[in-house]
Amino acid sequence: MAEQDKAVADLAEQVEQVVLGEDGKPLSKKALKKLEKEQEKKRRQEERLAREAAERAAREAAEPDVAVGMYGRAPLNMSQTRTDTVWTEVKDLSEAMVGQTVNVQARIQDSRLTGGRMCFLVLREHAATVQALVQADDVAVSRKMVRFADSVPAESIVSVTAEVVRPVETVKSCTVGSVELRVSKLFVTSEVVRQLPFSIEDASRSEEDCEANPALARVALDTRLDGRVVDLRTTPNNAIFKLQHAVCQLFREYLVRQGATEIHSPKIISTASEGGSNVFQITYFKRHAYLAQSPQLYKQACIAADFGKVFEIAPVFRAEDSNTYRHMTEYVGLDLECAFREHYHEVMYMIGEMFVYIFRGLEERWAHELAAVRRQYPSEPLKFDDKPLRLEYKDAVALLRGAGVEIGDFDDLSTPQERLLGELVRKEHGTDFFMLDKFPLAVRPFYTMPDPTDGNYSNSYDFFLRGQEIMSGAQRIHDPALLKERIRAFGIDAAPLEDYIRAFEYACPPHAGGGVGLERVVMFYLGIPNIRLASLFPRDPKRVDP
Protein backbone atom coordinates (compact mmCIF):
# COMPACT_ATOMS: atom_id res chain seq x y z
CA MET A 1 0.00 0.00 0.00
CA ALA A 2 1.41 3.38 -1.00
CA GLU A 3 1.82 5.93 1.81
CA GLN A 4 -0.96 8.16 0.45
CA ASP A 5 -3.41 5.25 0.23
CA LYS A 6 -2.64 4.34 3.81
CA ALA A 7 -3.44 7.88 5.01
CA VAL A 8 -6.78 7.77 3.23
CA ALA A 9 -7.61 4.38 4.76
CA ASP A 10 -6.71 5.62 8.27
CA LEU A 11 -8.96 8.63 7.83
CA ALA A 12 -11.85 6.48 6.70
CA GLU A 13 -11.38 4.28 9.76
CA GLN A 14 -11.40 7.31 12.05
CA VAL A 15 -14.64 8.59 10.57
CA GLU A 16 -16.30 5.23 11.01
CA GLN A 17 -15.01 4.80 14.59
CA VAL A 18 -17.83 4.71 17.12
CA VAL A 19 -17.10 4.28 20.82
CA LEU A 20 -19.09 1.47 22.38
CA GLY A 21 -20.06 1.21 26.05
CA GLU A 22 -19.72 -1.88 28.26
CA ASP A 23 -23.21 -2.95 27.18
CA GLY A 24 -22.03 -2.94 23.56
CA LYS A 25 -24.19 0.05 22.57
CA PRO A 26 -22.78 3.37 21.23
CA LEU A 27 -22.12 5.89 24.06
CA SER A 28 -24.08 9.10 24.40
CA LYS A 29 -22.32 12.44 23.80
CA LYS A 30 -22.24 13.11 27.54
CA ALA A 31 -20.83 9.74 28.37
CA LEU A 32 -18.28 10.19 25.63
CA LYS A 33 -17.14 13.48 27.15
CA LYS A 34 -16.81 11.82 30.57
CA LEU A 35 -14.75 9.02 29.09
CA GLU A 36 -12.40 11.47 27.38
CA LYS A 37 -11.86 13.28 30.68
CA GLU A 38 -11.10 10.04 32.47
CA GLN A 39 -8.62 9.03 29.79
CA GLU A 40 -6.89 12.39 30.00
CA LYS A 41 -6.65 12.03 33.77
CA LYS A 42 -5.20 8.55 33.46
CA ARG A 43 -2.64 9.74 30.90
CA ARG A 44 -1.48 12.53 33.17
CA GLN A 45 -1.23 10.17 36.12
CA GLU A 46 0.91 7.75 34.11
CA GLU A 47 3.17 10.59 33.05
CA ARG A 48 3.57 11.63 36.66
CA LEU A 49 4.41 8.05 37.77
CA ALA A 50 6.97 7.69 34.99
CA ARG A 51 8.53 11.03 35.93
CA GLU A 52 8.67 10.03 39.59
CA ALA A 53 10.18 6.63 38.75
CA ALA A 54 12.85 8.28 36.62
CA GLU A 55 13.60 10.74 39.42
CA ARG A 56 13.78 7.89 41.95
CA ALA A 57 16.07 5.89 39.68
CA ALA A 58 18.33 8.91 39.29
CA ARG A 59 18.27 9.51 43.03
CA GLU A 60 18.97 5.86 43.76
CA ALA A 61 21.78 5.80 41.24
CA ALA A 62 23.27 8.78 42.94
CA GLU A 63 22.81 7.27 46.41
CA PRO A 64 26.12 6.46 48.04
CA ASP A 65 26.33 2.64 48.08
CA VAL A 66 28.00 1.23 51.18
CA ALA A 67 27.69 -2.28 49.73
CA VAL A 68 29.64 -1.74 46.52
CA GLY A 69 31.45 -4.98 45.65
CA MET A 70 29.34 -6.97 48.09
CA TYR A 71 26.60 -7.94 45.64
CA GLY A 72 25.92 -8.25 41.93
CA ARG A 73 26.34 -10.70 39.10
CA ALA A 74 29.39 -12.89 39.55
CA PRO A 75 31.52 -13.42 36.46
CA LEU A 76 30.81 -16.71 34.66
CA ASN A 77 32.46 -19.56 36.55
CA MET A 78 35.15 -20.85 34.23
CA SER A 79 37.08 -22.31 37.18
CA GLN A 80 39.16 -19.15 37.46
CA THR A 81 40.29 -19.81 40.99
CA ARG A 82 40.25 -22.44 43.67
CA THR A 83 40.07 -20.82 47.08
CA ASP A 84 39.85 -22.43 50.48
CA THR A 85 36.29 -21.21 50.94
CA VAL A 86 34.25 -23.51 53.14
CA TRP A 87 30.70 -23.98 51.89
CA THR A 88 27.87 -24.98 54.16
CA GLU A 89 24.93 -26.98 52.87
CA VAL A 90 21.53 -25.55 53.68
CA LYS A 91 20.41 -28.86 55.20
CA ASP A 92 23.31 -28.67 57.65
CA LEU A 93 22.44 -25.22 59.05
CA SER A 94 21.48 -25.49 62.72
CA GLU A 95 21.11 -23.53 65.95
CA ALA A 96 24.59 -24.67 66.96
CA MET A 97 25.93 -22.34 64.25
CA VAL A 98 24.24 -19.16 65.52
CA GLY A 99 26.72 -16.32 65.40
CA GLN A 100 28.89 -17.98 62.74
CA THR A 101 29.43 -16.60 59.26
CA VAL A 102 28.73 -19.16 56.54
CA ASN A 103 28.94 -19.38 52.77
CA VAL A 104 25.99 -20.94 51.00
CA GLN A 105 25.20 -21.68 47.33
CA ALA A 106 21.50 -22.07 46.68
CA ARG A 107 18.60 -21.14 44.50
CA ILE A 108 16.36 -18.21 45.37
CA GLN A 109 13.00 -19.96 45.60
CA ASP A 110 11.09 -16.84 46.57
CA SER A 111 11.74 -13.18 47.48
CA ARG A 112 9.65 -10.56 49.23
CA LEU A 113 10.55 -6.87 49.55
CA THR A 114 9.31 -5.14 52.72
CA GLY A 115 9.30 -1.37 52.95
CA GLY A 116 12.30 -0.85 50.67
CA ARG A 117 14.86 -1.73 53.37
CA MET A 118 14.29 -5.45 53.81
CA CYS A 119 14.17 -8.33 51.41
CA PHE A 120 13.25 -11.82 52.63
CA LEU A 121 14.57 -14.66 50.52
CA VAL A 122 13.80 -18.36 50.62
CA LEU A 123 17.02 -20.16 49.69
CA ARG A 124 16.77 -23.76 48.51
CA GLU A 125 19.57 -26.27 48.14
CA HIS A 126 18.35 -29.72 47.00
CA ALA A 127 15.42 -30.49 49.32
CA ALA A 128 16.39 -28.05 52.10
CA THR A 129 15.16 -24.46 52.42
CA VAL A 130 16.11 -21.62 54.77
CA GLN A 131 15.00 -18.02 55.16
CA ALA A 132 17.55 -15.31 54.43
CA LEU A 133 17.24 -11.60 55.10
CA VAL A 134 18.93 -8.78 53.23
CA GLN A 135 18.41 -5.70 55.41
CA ALA A 136 19.74 -2.24 54.66
CA ASP A 137 21.70 -0.90 57.62
CA ASP A 138 23.57 1.94 55.86
CA VAL A 139 26.79 0.42 57.18
CA ALA A 140 27.41 -2.79 55.24
CA VAL A 141 24.15 -3.42 53.41
CA SER A 142 22.68 -0.70 51.22
CA ARG A 143 19.12 -0.18 49.98
CA LYS A 144 20.55 -0.75 46.52
CA MET A 145 21.69 -4.19 47.60
CA VAL A 146 18.25 -4.92 49.06
CA ARG A 147 16.60 -3.91 45.78
CA PHE A 148 19.12 -5.99 43.84
CA ALA A 149 18.33 -9.07 45.96
CA ASP A 150 14.67 -8.60 45.24
CA SER A 151 15.28 -8.17 41.50
CA VAL A 152 16.96 -11.58 41.05
CA PRO A 153 14.51 -13.86 39.23
CA ALA A 154 13.23 -16.84 41.22
CA GLU A 155 15.19 -20.09 40.68
CA SER A 156 18.42 -18.21 40.00
CA ILE A 157 21.45 -19.54 41.85
CA VAL A 158 23.24 -17.24 44.27
CA SER A 159 26.28 -17.50 46.41
CA VAL A 160 25.74 -15.86 49.75
CA THR A 161 27.84 -14.94 52.76
CA ALA A 162 25.71 -14.55 55.85
CA GLU A 163 25.57 -14.68 59.60
CA VAL A 164 23.50 -17.47 61.12
CA VAL A 165 20.97 -15.86 63.46
CA ARG A 166 18.01 -16.95 65.56
CA PRO A 167 14.78 -15.86 63.85
CA VAL A 168 12.11 -13.91 65.71
CA GLU A 169 9.99 -17.02 65.50
CA THR A 170 10.49 -20.45 63.92
CA VAL A 171 10.22 -20.20 60.13
CA LYS A 172 7.55 -22.80 59.50
CA SER A 173 7.59 -22.46 55.73
CA CYS A 174 11.22 -23.64 55.50
CA THR A 175 12.71 -27.07 56.20
CA VAL A 176 15.40 -25.38 58.30
CA GLY A 177 13.22 -23.24 60.58
CA SER A 178 15.31 -22.76 63.70
CA VAL A 179 17.78 -20.35 62.12
CA GLU A 180 17.80 -17.72 59.43
CA LEU A 181 20.61 -16.06 57.49
CA ARG A 182 21.52 -12.36 57.73
CA VAL A 183 23.10 -11.74 54.31
CA SER A 184 26.24 -9.61 53.96
CA LYS A 185 27.29 -10.66 50.45
CA LEU A 186 25.12 -11.87 47.59
CA PHE A 187 26.28 -12.77 44.10
CA VAL A 188 24.25 -14.31 41.31
CA THR A 189 26.23 -17.25 39.91
CA SER A 190 23.60 -18.46 37.45
CA GLU A 191 20.60 -16.33 36.50
CA VAL A 192 17.25 -17.45 35.15
CA VAL A 193 16.85 -15.74 31.77
CA ARG A 194 13.64 -17.39 30.57
CA GLN A 195 10.12 -17.40 32.00
CA LEU A 196 9.71 -20.56 34.11
CA PRO A 197 7.00 -22.89 32.75
CA PHE A 198 5.48 -23.09 36.26
CA SER A 199 6.55 -22.37 39.80
CA ILE A 200 8.19 -24.97 42.03
CA GLU A 201 5.43 -24.35 44.55
CA ASP A 202 2.66 -25.10 42.02
CA ALA A 203 4.46 -28.22 40.86
CA SER A 204 4.85 -29.50 44.43
CA ARG A 205 1.21 -29.28 45.44
CA SER A 206 -0.86 -32.35 46.32
CA GLU A 207 -4.10 -33.23 44.57
CA GLU A 208 -5.80 -32.75 47.95
CA ASP A 209 -4.57 -29.16 48.25
CA CYS A 210 -5.66 -28.41 44.70
CA GLU A 211 -9.13 -29.74 45.43
CA ALA A 212 -9.38 -27.83 48.69
CA ASN A 213 -8.56 -24.56 46.98
CA PRO A 214 -9.62 -24.45 43.31
CA ALA A 215 -7.97 -21.03 42.94
CA LEU A 216 -4.53 -22.65 43.20
CA ALA A 217 -2.71 -23.38 39.95
CA ARG A 218 -2.58 -27.02 38.90
CA VAL A 219 0.27 -28.15 36.66
CA ALA A 220 -0.94 -30.56 33.99
CA LEU A 221 1.12 -33.71 33.34
CA ASP A 222 2.18 -32.65 29.84
CA THR A 223 3.22 -29.21 31.08
CA ARG A 224 5.33 -30.88 33.76
CA LEU A 225 6.96 -33.23 31.30
CA ASP A 226 7.61 -30.48 28.75
CA GLY A 227 9.37 -28.46 31.46
CA ARG A 228 10.81 -31.55 33.13
CA VAL A 229 14.10 -29.86 34.12
CA VAL A 230 12.18 -27.45 36.34
CA ASP A 231 9.65 -30.09 37.43
CA LEU A 232 12.41 -32.43 38.63
CA ARG A 233 13.62 -29.73 41.04
CA THR A 234 10.65 -30.14 43.37
CA THR A 235 11.39 -31.88 46.65
CA PRO A 236 8.93 -34.75 45.97
CA ASN A 237 10.47 -35.35 42.53
CA ASN A 238 14.00 -35.26 43.88
CA ALA A 239 12.80 -37.86 46.39
CA ILE A 240 11.09 -40.06 43.77
CA PHE A 241 14.35 -40.43 41.89
CA LYS A 242 16.33 -41.03 45.06
CA LEU A 243 13.87 -43.87 45.73
CA GLN A 244 14.23 -45.19 42.19
CA HIS A 245 17.98 -45.21 42.82
CA ALA A 246 17.31 -46.97 46.14
CA VAL A 247 15.29 -49.76 44.49
CA CYS A 248 18.19 -50.46 42.10
CA GLN A 249 20.70 -50.39 44.93
CA LEU A 250 18.68 -52.76 47.11
CA PHE A 251 18.01 -55.09 44.16
CA ARG A 252 21.73 -55.34 43.50
CA GLU A 253 22.72 -55.59 47.15
CA TYR A 254 20.46 -58.57 47.64
CA LEU A 255 21.54 -60.36 44.47
CA VAL A 256 25.25 -59.71 44.92
CA ARG A 257 24.99 -61.33 48.37
CA GLN A 258 23.43 -64.35 46.64
CA GLY A 259 26.54 -64.56 44.46
CA ALA A 260 24.88 -63.22 41.31
CA THR A 261 26.88 -61.58 38.53
CA GLU A 262 25.78 -58.33 36.91
CA ILE A 263 25.68 -58.63 33.14
CA HIS A 264 25.26 -56.26 30.20
CA SER A 265 23.54 -57.87 27.26
CA PRO A 266 23.28 -56.27 23.81
CA LYS A 267 20.32 -54.06 23.01
CA ILE A 268 20.90 -54.25 19.28
CA ILE A 269 19.77 -57.65 18.04
CA SER A 270 19.71 -59.16 14.58
CA THR A 271 16.19 -60.54 14.54
CA ALA A 272 12.90 -59.77 16.18
CA SER A 273 13.45 -62.89 18.22
CA GLU A 274 10.90 -62.85 21.01
CA GLY A 275 7.68 -63.39 19.15
CA GLY A 276 8.29 -60.70 16.58
CA SER A 277 5.79 -57.90 17.09
CA ASN A 278 6.34 -54.77 19.14
CA VAL A 279 9.99 -54.33 18.27
CA PHE A 280 11.61 -51.14 17.02
CA GLN A 281 13.57 -51.46 13.82
CA ILE A 282 16.99 -49.79 13.44
CA THR A 283 18.91 -48.94 10.31
CA TYR A 284 22.20 -50.76 10.97
CA PHE A 285 24.74 -49.81 8.30
CA LYS A 286 23.44 -51.54 5.17
CA ARG A 287 20.94 -53.81 6.91
CA HIS A 288 18.23 -53.74 9.53
CA ALA A 289 18.47 -54.66 13.16
CA TYR A 290 16.13 -54.40 16.13
CA LEU A 291 16.03 -53.13 19.70
CA ALA A 292 15.85 -55.86 22.32
CA GLN A 293 12.46 -56.22 24.02
CA SER A 294 14.16 -57.80 27.02
CA PRO A 295 17.45 -59.47 27.88
CA GLN A 296 15.57 -62.79 28.10
CA LEU A 297 17.51 -64.81 25.56
CA TYR A 298 20.87 -63.40 26.67
CA LYS A 299 20.44 -63.91 30.36
CA GLN A 300 19.52 -67.51 29.60
CA ALA A 301 22.62 -67.79 27.41
CA CYS A 302 24.63 -66.71 30.47
CA ILE A 303 23.07 -69.56 32.45
CA ALA A 304 24.06 -71.96 29.66
CA ALA A 305 27.54 -70.42 30.00
CA ASP A 306 27.66 -71.41 33.70
CA PHE A 307 27.29 -67.94 35.21
CA GLY A 308 24.92 -69.49 37.78
CA LYS A 309 22.99 -66.39 38.81
CA VAL A 310 22.88 -63.22 36.73
CA PHE A 311 21.07 -59.92 36.82
CA GLU A 312 20.89 -56.85 34.62
CA ILE A 313 19.54 -53.33 34.99
CA ALA A 314 19.07 -51.86 31.54
CA PRO A 315 16.61 -50.20 29.20
CA VAL A 316 14.06 -52.37 27.42
CA PHE A 317 12.14 -51.22 24.39
CA ARG A 318 8.53 -51.98 23.44
CA ALA A 319 7.07 -50.65 20.20
CA GLU A 320 3.59 -50.95 21.64
CA ASP A 321 1.10 -48.23 20.71
CA SER A 322 -0.40 -48.19 24.22
CA ASN A 323 -1.27 -44.79 25.62
CA THR A 324 -2.13 -45.72 29.20
CA TYR A 325 -1.07 -44.58 32.65
CA ARG A 326 1.20 -47.61 33.01
CA HIS A 327 2.85 -48.19 29.63
CA MET A 328 5.98 -46.64 28.18
CA THR A 329 7.92 -47.48 25.03
CA GLU A 330 11.20 -47.46 26.93
CA TYR A 331 11.59 -48.47 30.55
CA VAL A 332 14.20 -49.83 32.90
CA GLY A 333 14.17 -53.58 33.30
CA LEU A 334 15.47 -55.25 36.45
CA ASP A 335 16.11 -58.72 35.13
CA LEU A 336 17.44 -61.79 36.82
CA GLU A 337 17.96 -65.44 35.96
CA CYS A 338 19.23 -68.24 38.18
CA ALA A 339 20.20 -71.85 37.70
CA PHE A 340 18.59 -74.08 40.33
CA ARG A 341 19.21 -77.59 41.65
CA GLU A 342 15.81 -79.20 41.83
CA HIS A 343 12.81 -76.92 41.76
CA TYR A 344 11.99 -73.47 40.40
CA HIS A 345 10.58 -72.55 43.79
CA GLU A 346 14.19 -72.19 44.93
CA VAL A 347 14.34 -69.16 42.62
CA MET A 348 10.77 -67.95 43.07
CA TYR A 349 11.04 -67.79 46.85
CA MET A 350 14.43 -66.09 46.57
CA ILE A 351 12.87 -63.37 44.39
CA GLY A 352 10.05 -63.03 46.89
CA GLU A 353 12.59 -62.55 49.67
CA MET A 354 14.41 -60.03 47.50
CA PHE A 355 11.31 -57.88 47.24
CA VAL A 356 10.83 -58.02 51.00
CA TYR A 357 14.46 -56.86 51.30
CA ILE A 358 13.74 -53.97 48.92
CA PHE A 359 10.50 -52.89 50.64
CA ARG A 360 12.08 -53.14 54.09
CA GLY A 361 15.16 -51.26 52.90
CA LEU A 362 13.09 -48.40 51.48
CA GLU A 363 11.23 -48.04 54.77
CA GLU A 364 14.32 -48.19 56.92
CA ARG A 365 16.96 -46.42 54.89
CA TRP A 366 14.94 -43.95 52.80
CA ALA A 367 12.21 -42.92 55.23
CA HIS A 368 13.00 -39.24 54.69
CA GLU A 369 12.44 -39.49 50.92
CA LEU A 370 9.30 -41.60 51.39
CA ALA A 371 7.85 -38.89 53.62
CA ALA A 372 8.72 -36.20 51.05
CA VAL A 373 6.88 -38.06 48.28
CA ARG A 374 3.89 -38.74 50.51
CA ARG A 375 3.41 -35.03 51.16
CA GLN A 376 2.52 -34.62 47.48
CA TYR A 377 1.22 -38.14 46.81
CA PRO A 378 -0.31 -39.48 50.02
CA SER A 379 -0.15 -43.27 50.32
CA GLU A 380 -0.37 -45.81 53.09
CA PRO A 381 2.76 -47.74 54.01
CA LEU A 382 2.88 -51.07 52.19
CA LYS A 383 1.55 -54.10 54.02
CA PHE A 384 3.69 -57.17 53.50
CA ASP A 385 4.90 -60.24 55.36
CA ASP A 386 8.47 -61.34 55.93
CA LYS A 387 7.65 -64.54 54.09
CA PRO A 388 5.60 -63.44 51.09
CA LEU A 389 2.26 -65.08 50.40
CA ARG A 390 2.10 -67.57 47.52
CA LEU A 391 -1.21 -68.25 45.80
CA GLU A 392 -1.86 -70.56 42.91
CA TYR A 393 -3.60 -69.29 39.81
CA LYS A 394 -6.56 -71.54 40.43
CA ASP A 395 -6.93 -70.05 43.94
CA ALA A 396 -7.04 -66.59 42.35
CA VAL A 397 -9.72 -67.74 39.91
CA ALA A 398 -11.73 -69.15 42.83
CA LEU A 399 -11.36 -65.90 44.80
CA LEU A 400 -12.53 -63.86 41.80
CA ARG A 401 -15.45 -66.18 41.15
CA GLY A 402 -16.39 -65.85 44.80
CA ALA A 403 -16.62 -62.11 44.15
CA GLY A 404 -18.93 -62.69 41.18
CA VAL A 405 -16.38 -62.46 38.38
CA GLU A 406 -16.97 -64.73 35.39
CA ILE A 407 -13.63 -66.16 34.38
CA GLY A 408 -12.52 -69.39 32.71
CA ASP A 409 -9.96 -71.68 34.38
CA PHE A 410 -7.29 -70.83 31.81
CA ASP A 411 -8.21 -67.25 30.92
CA ASP A 412 -5.64 -64.53 31.45
CA LEU A 413 -6.40 -61.89 34.08
CA SER A 414 -7.50 -58.46 32.87
CA THR A 415 -6.14 -55.34 34.57
CA PRO A 416 -9.41 -54.71 36.49
CA GLN A 417 -9.44 -58.37 37.57
CA GLU A 418 -5.86 -58.01 38.84
CA ARG A 419 -6.90 -54.95 40.84
CA LEU A 420 -9.90 -56.74 42.32
CA LEU A 421 -7.73 -59.73 43.14
CA GLY A 422 -5.37 -57.38 44.97
CA GLU A 423 -8.26 -56.08 47.05
CA LEU A 424 -9.57 -59.56 47.81
CA VAL A 425 -6.12 -60.81 48.84
CA ARG A 426 -5.59 -57.74 51.04
CA LYS A 427 -8.91 -58.37 52.73
CA GLU A 428 -8.29 -62.06 53.21
CA HIS A 429 -4.55 -62.17 53.89
CA GLY A 430 -3.73 -58.61 54.96
CA THR A 431 -0.93 -58.11 52.44
CA ASP A 432 -0.31 -55.76 49.49
CA PHE A 433 2.32 -58.08 48.07
CA PHE A 434 1.93 -61.66 46.90
CA MET A 435 3.22 -64.21 44.41
CA LEU A 436 0.76 -65.77 42.00
CA ASP A 437 2.14 -69.14 40.88
CA LYS A 438 1.17 -71.76 38.30
CA PHE A 439 -0.25 -69.66 35.47
CA PRO A 440 -2.08 -71.38 32.61
CA LEU A 441 0.50 -72.48 30.03
CA ALA A 442 -1.42 -70.94 27.13
CA VAL A 443 -1.08 -67.35 28.40
CA ARG A 444 2.72 -67.50 28.87
CA PRO A 445 5.64 -67.18 26.40
CA PHE A 446 6.80 -70.19 24.39
CA TYR A 447 9.89 -70.77 26.56
CA THR A 448 7.85 -71.38 29.74
CA MET A 449 8.23 -74.80 31.37
CA PRO A 450 4.90 -76.68 31.53
CA ASP A 451 3.71 -77.98 34.88
CA PRO A 452 4.91 -81.60 35.29
CA THR A 453 1.53 -82.94 36.36
CA ASP A 454 -1.02 -80.82 34.48
CA GLY A 455 -0.07 -79.57 31.03
CA ASN A 456 -2.71 -76.83 31.20
CA TYR A 457 -0.59 -75.06 33.80
CA SER A 458 3.01 -73.96 33.87
CA ASN A 459 5.90 -73.34 36.25
CA SER A 460 5.38 -69.58 36.02
CA TYR A 461 4.49 -66.74 38.34
CA ASP A 462 3.62 -63.06 38.52
CA PHE A 463 4.29 -60.88 41.56
CA PHE A 464 1.69 -58.30 42.55
CA LEU A 465 2.04 -55.02 44.42
CA ARG A 466 -1.11 -53.17 45.48
CA GLY A 467 -3.07 -55.21 42.93
CA GLN A 468 -0.76 -54.50 40.00
CA GLU A 469 1.73 -56.81 38.35
CA ILE A 470 5.34 -55.78 38.93
CA MET A 471 7.13 -58.93 37.86
CA SER A 472 6.62 -61.84 35.52
CA GLY A 473 8.78 -64.93 35.66
CA ALA A 474 9.02 -68.67 35.20
CA GLN A 475 11.08 -71.76 34.93
CA ARG A 476 12.36 -71.74 31.35
CA ILE A 477 12.60 -74.75 29.07
CA HIS A 478 16.25 -75.84 29.06
CA ASP A 479 15.69 -78.90 26.89
CA PRO A 480 16.15 -78.19 23.16
CA ALA A 481 13.71 -80.88 21.99
CA LEU A 482 10.86 -79.62 24.18
CA LEU A 483 11.74 -76.03 23.27
CA LYS A 484 11.46 -76.81 19.55
CA GLU A 485 8.17 -78.58 20.17
CA ARG A 486 6.78 -75.53 21.97
CA ILE A 487 8.04 -73.17 19.25
CA ARG A 488 6.16 -75.31 16.71
CA ALA A 489 3.05 -75.35 18.91
CA PHE A 490 3.13 -71.53 19.05
CA GLY A 491 3.57 -71.36 15.27
CA ILE A 492 6.68 -69.21 15.72
CA ASP A 493 9.42 -69.19 13.08
CA ALA A 494 12.31 -71.16 14.61
CA ALA A 495 14.96 -69.75 12.26
CA PRO A 496 15.62 -66.49 14.17
CA LEU A 497 15.82 -68.53 17.37
CA GLU A 498 18.62 -70.79 16.12
CA ASP A 499 21.33 -69.28 18.37
CA TYR A 500 18.97 -69.42 21.32
CA ILE A 501 18.12 -73.09 20.84
CA ARG A 502 21.77 -73.94 20.26
CA ALA A 503 22.66 -72.68 23.74
CA PHE A 504 20.58 -75.53 25.17
CA GLU A 505 21.99 -78.10 22.74
CA TYR A 506 25.35 -77.46 24.41
CA ALA A 507 23.63 -78.48 27.70
CA CYS A 508 22.18 -76.07 30.21
CA PRO A 509 21.17 -76.37 33.87
CA PRO A 510 17.49 -75.94 34.80
CA HIS A 511 16.83 -72.29 35.56
CA ALA A 512 14.17 -69.72 36.37
CA GLY A 513 14.03 -65.97 36.58
CA GLY A 514 11.96 -62.90 36.09
CA GLY A 515 11.75 -59.38 34.78
CA VAL A 516 10.75 -56.38 36.86
CA GLY A 517 9.73 -52.98 35.55
CA LEU A 518 11.64 -50.48 37.71
CA GLU A 519 9.21 -47.61 37.15
CA ARG A 520 6.27 -49.88 37.98
CA VAL A 521 7.76 -50.88 41.31
CA VAL A 522 8.38 -47.22 42.16
CA MET A 523 4.94 -46.16 40.94
CA PHE A 524 2.91 -48.81 42.77
CA TYR A 525 5.03 -48.76 45.91
CA LEU A 526 4.57 -44.99 46.18
CA GLY A 527 1.04 -45.00 44.86
CA ILE A 528 1.77 -42.29 42.31
CA PRO A 529 -0.89 -41.97 39.62
CA ASN A 530 1.09 -42.22 36.36
CA ILE A 531 4.17 -44.23 35.39
CA ARG A 532 5.59 -41.19 33.59
CA LEU A 533 6.10 -39.56 36.98
CA ALA A 534 8.44 -42.43 37.89
CA SER A 535 10.61 -41.94 34.78
CA LEU A 536 13.11 -39.08 34.45
CA PHE A 537 12.34 -38.37 30.80
CA PRO A 538 9.50 -40.72 29.85
CA ARG A 539 8.95 -42.11 26.35
CA ASP A 540 5.59 -43.09 24.97
CA PRO A 541 4.14 -43.35 21.46
CA LYS A 542 3.59 -39.58 21.47
CA ARG A 543 6.56 -38.36 23.46
CA VAL A 544 10.28 -38.53 22.62
CA ASP A 545 11.07 -35.04 24.03
CA PRO A 546 12.69 -33.58 25.98
The site string for its own copies over 403-442 (x = CB under 8 A, - otherwise) reads ----------------------------------------
Does 169 interact with its own copies (rule: CB under 8 A)?
Answer: no
Q: Which residue type occupies 297?
A: L
Q: Is 375 a catalytic residue?
A: no
Distance of CA 262 to the CA centre of its chain: 25
Q: Which is nearer to its own copies, 467 or 473 (CB)?
A: 473
Task: Show the binding pattern over residues 257-296: x = contacts its own copies (CB under 8 A), - = does not.
Answer: ----xxxxxxxxxx---------xxxxxx---x-x-----
| Stretch near its own copies under the rule CB under 8 A, chosen from 36-44, 55-63, 176-184, 507-515 | 507-515
13 annotated active-site: no
Which of these segments, 32-40, 242-250, 356-364, 372-380, binds its own copies (CB under 8 A)? 242-250
- Could you say whether residue 102 binds its own copies (CB under 8 A)? no
Q: Which is nearer to its own copies, 141 or 157 (CB)?
A: 157
Active site residue 419: no
SS (H, E, C) 135-192: ECCCCCCCHHHHHHHHHCCCCCEEEEEEEEECCCCCCCCCCEEEEEEEEEEEEEEECC
CB 149 within 8 A of CB 134: yes
Q: How far is CA 153 from CA 104, 194, 453, in A?
A: 18, 9, 70
Residue 307 identity = F
Let me know if 326 is a catalytic residue: yes
Where b means 16+ CB within 10 Å and e means fewer, 23-48 reads eeeebeeeeeeeeeeeeeeeeeeeee
Q: Tell me which of 143, 185, 205, 228 binds its own copies, using CB under 8 A.
A: 228
Is 48 an active-site residue?
no
Closest to its own copies by CB, 178 vs 258, is 258
**Residues 471 and 462: beta-carbon distance below 8 Å:** yes
Active site residue 262: no
Window 509-528: residues binding its own copies (CB under 8 A)? 509-510, 518
Nearer to its own copies (CB atom), residue 97 or residue 501: 501
Indicate the burial class of 396 (C-beta count within 10 angstroms; 0-12, 13-18, 19 or more). Answer: buried
Q: Which is nearer to its own copies, 167 or 197 (CB)?
A: 197
Ramachandran sector of residue 129 (left: φ over 0; alpha: ψ -120 to 50; beta: rest):
beta
Burial (CB count within 10 angstroms: exposed 0-12, middle 13-18, buried 19+), residue 430: exposed
Determine whether 320 is an active site residue.
Answer: yes
Contacting its own copies (CB under 8 A), which of 306, 380, 386, 406? 306
- Report the residue from 148, 298, 384, 463 that binds its own copies according to the rule CB under 8 A: 298
- Residues annotated as part of the active site: 318, 320, 326-327, 469, 472, 520
